[in-house]
Structure 1
Amino acid sequence: MTADCGTLHFEEAARVTVVPYADGLIALCTTAIAAPEGPEARARERRQAEHAAGQYALITSLAALGVHAGPPDRRPDGSPRPPPGTLVSISHRFPYAVAAAWKAHGRPPQHCRILGVGVDIEQEGTIPENAVHLVCSPVERPGLCATPGWADPTRVFSGKEAAYKADPQWRSQRFAPRRLRLRPLGPRLALAHSAAGPADATSVVASRQVGGYWISLCITLTAARPSRLYR
């Protein structure tokens, strides 16, 4: 099944995962972009196709949570403006687009308050091994290198990009990977260093490898007992 975006087409072979998280549900949608490849492909066509696929992935994520809405408006910083009661994020790296959406259950959150959601996708090898110093500070590098899986600089960059999108305080600043530190919790999860926001704010980053790409998802939240969320 394909969708028409003017003269452009992108594949709607979307894959959606919905899981409970932090007094709500989060949906992650991945879809493929079918835009022209090669030197003959115009950059404008590529950008239009990526934008259309990102919008479709976001609409699909929201629909999986029972929120049926059209393409979202944009904030001044260019990020999507979520429908009331939701938090959203989009990322694309040809030929894939991903989107995440979070919605509380039918009652106000009991254990925490969600501040933001961030998602990112990066192709393996985007950041070469000899450029790890560009994305990691000397303070965080030993912990990342000592944890299986987190020595990959592309994975680290993707996790930091997702954390940057999820934290409203970071989003108000220029993205500087070395300033936004990650502390691994294990092979699959990490905590992101919070910007100057609420004292109890926590950013949890999860990433996975899918078909030669790293997909990272981050939730920024405040919680009286945040350990409850990691069990």
Structure 2
Amino acid sequence: NAVPKRQREFAAGRAAARQALRAAGGTAIAIPMGADRAPQWPAGFCGSITHDDHWALAVAARTDHWRSLGLDLEDASPLEDDLIPLICTEAERARFDIRGASHSAKAIFSAKEAAYKAIYPLTGRMMSFHDIELLTLGECAFEARLAVAQPPFGRGLVMEGRQRICAGRLVSFVAFGQGS
């Protein structure tokens, strides 16, 4: 029932997912949407899908190597002023000197989206943006910490992620290995 633009983005994301699944050694099959709207990867695989108006990206891996993956894609423009308090904690705003429309705030938003996408398949729990706090935000990497427990993960779990700007888009990635 989505509008045509959203249908095209969804289809492009699912096409990218099939390619990622094949690259990970699986069969390029359809990736259905679950009741919670999350992608339902075939047994033995995990992955993540992200898309916007122009790009669709996906990653997939075998679950004997990785427990979960999270991928996010955002326009590399600054985050709007009115969204900053919803996305960034007071500690993050102080730590990263965020004032006004901010590229750092958008990077924090994308990092949290990738972390959430990696955590959600393992917890099945919705989270708010303040449930994850960015500790570091470098040129290509970030560290985030769970500010609240998300069983099976306790409060304080630190996640490492990667982030790059490519073709005017900010791409963020988090992976949970089997030892995580």
1:76 aligns with 2:35: yes
Q: Contact 2:70 / 2:115 at 8 angstroms: preserved in 1?
A: yes
1:152 aligns with 2:104: yes
1:180 aligns with 2:139: no
CA distance change for structure 1 residues 93 and 181 in 2, over 3 Å: closer, same or farther?
same
Q: Which runs of 5+ in 2 are unaligned?
A: none
Shift of 1:96: 0.9
Distance, in Å, in 1 between the alignment partners of 2:72 and 2:7 is 18
Shift of 1:82: 1.1
SS at match of 2:131: coil
Distance, in Å, in 2 between the alignment partners of 1:144 and 1:115 is 30
Distance, in Å, in 1 between the alignment partners of 2:15 and 2:163 is 22
CA distance change for structure 1 residues 167 and 69 in 2, over 3 Å: closer, same or farther?
same
Identity level (%): 27
Distance, in Å, in 2 between the alignment partners of 1:145 and 1:126 is 14
Q: Contact 1:201 / 1:221 at 8 angstroms: preserved in 2?
A: no
Taking structure 2 as the reference length, what is the TM-score of the superposition? Answer: 0.80
**Counterpart residue identity of residue 210, structure 1:** C
Q: Contact 2:79 / 2:103 at 8 angstroms: preserved in 1?
A: no
* Cα deviation digits, residues 158-201 of structure 1 (max 9, x gap): 1111111110366512x421232112163221222234233495
SS at match of 1:70: coil
1:198 aligns with 2:166: no
Distance, in Å, in 2 between the alignment partners of 1:117 and 1:62 is 13
* Cα deviation digits, residues 10-67 of structure 1 (max 9, x gap): xxxxxxxxxxxxxxxxxxxxxxxxxxxxxxxxx7211111111001101111111221
SS at match of 2:91: coil
CA distance change for structure 1 residues 222 and 95 in 2, over 3 Å: closer, same or farther?
same
CA distance change for structure 1 residues 144 and 222 in 2, over 3 Å: closer, same or farther?
farther
CA distance change for structure 1 residues 77 and 184 in 2, over 3 Å: closer, same or farther?
same
Shift of 1:222: 6.0
Query: Which of 91, 95, 101 in structure 2 is aligned with 1:139?
Result: 91
SS at match of 1:161: helix
Higher RCO (CA-CA < 8 Å; seq separation 6+): 2
Higher helix share: 2
RMSD across aligned positions (CA): 2.7
1:67 aligns with 2:26: yes
Aligned counterpart, 2:174: 218
Q: Contact 2:19 / 2:28 at 8 angstroms: preserved in 1?
A: no
Query: Which of 51, 57, 76 in structure 1 is aligned with 2:16?
Result: 57
SS at match of 1:73: coil
Distance, in Å, in 2 between the alignment partners of 1:139 and 1:171 is 27
**Counterpart residue identity of residue 121, structure 1:** L
Larger radius of gyration: 1
Distance, in Å, in 2 between the alignment partners of 1:186 and 1:125 is 17
Distance, in Å, in 2 between the alignment partners of 1:220 and 1:145 is 29
SS at match of 1:68: coil
Shift of 1:131: 4.3
Query: Which of 90, 96, 121 in structure 1 is aligned with 2:73?
Result: 121
Q: Which runs of 5+ in 1 are unaligned?
A: 1-42, 227-231
Q: Contact 2:77 / 2:103 at 8 angstroms: preserved in 1?
A: no
**Counterpart residue identity of residue 172, structure 1:** R
Taking structure 1 as the reference length, what is the TM-score of the superposition? Answer: 0.64
